[in-house]
Amino acid sequence: RDAGAQFAVSPGCTERLAAAADDSGLPYLPAVMTPSEVLLALEYGYRSLKLFPANGNTSVKMLKSFKGPFTGIRFCPTGGITADNLLSFLRLPNVACVGGSWLTPADALAQGDWARITQLARHACGLK
């Protein structure tokens, strides 16, 4: 926050992280991978969660199984999302969005190749 951040995203959810996020006043997207982590995030009032790492069909199955006991929660899977599997996640009713570094390859960033990044994003948005 002191450096100008407007939100925080983490690769996990611990009591210390959740408490620090509460103290900062920043919107926070904690990551979870297990039902226990989901419950911890719920105890802190979070209903939008990052699923990390999202490793293909295993994570799709897990998100399907989370739908029953964890109603009203929306997930943002990251860490393994690609143009080839993003639709299998986005079609789930408890997935709000996905994130993936395939949209911003390191070489494109280093070269300032915004046209390539734009093309990748447009391609992803056009998938059905």
16-52, pLDDT tens digit by residue?
999 999 999 999 999 999 999 999 999 999 999 999 9
CB 16 within 8 A of CB 30: no
Angle made by CA atoms 29, 33, 35, in degrees to the nearest 5: 105
Q: pLDDT digits over 66-92, tens only? A: 999 999 999 999 999 999 999 999 999
Q: Do residues 11 and 31 touch, judged by C-beta distance below 8 A?
A: yes
Q: What is the dihedral of CA 52, 125, 116, 85, to 10 degrees?
A: 40
pTM given for the model: 0.89
**71: its two tokens:** 């109603």
